[in-house]
Amino acid sequence: MPKQKTHKATARRFQVTGSGRLLRTRHGKSHLRRKRSDRAKREYDEMIPVSPADVSRVRRLLPYAKKYPK
């Protein structure tokens, strides 16, 4: 059976934690941040978990990412 290919754009946008959870960055980071509160601006620096509805789609694009422990 041939090897599967990793979707490289997805690999750059998502991180997999040691326990296998998928993390993503927030949208809206590029501009118009000056008018936001300091707290809101700091929140853009954090990675947040991927929605459970989207996890299966992202996993299909990252075939060699660590899976959730059973």
**Tens digit of each residue's pLDDT (9 = 90 or more) over 1-13:** 899 999 999 999 9
Q: Does the pTM exceed 0.85?
A: no
Q: How many Å apart are CA 25 and CA 52, to the nearest integer?
A: 15
Predicted pLDDT at 62 = 95
Mapped onto helix, strand or coil, the DSSP state of residue 59 is: helix
Predicted pLDDT at 52 = 94
Which domains does the chain show, CATH number per domain?
A: 8-61 (4.10.410.60)
Predicted pLDDT at 22 = 95
Q: How confident is the model at residue 51 (pLDDT cuts 50, 70, 90)?
A: very high
Q: Which residues contact 56 (CB under 8 A, 6 or more apart)?
A: none
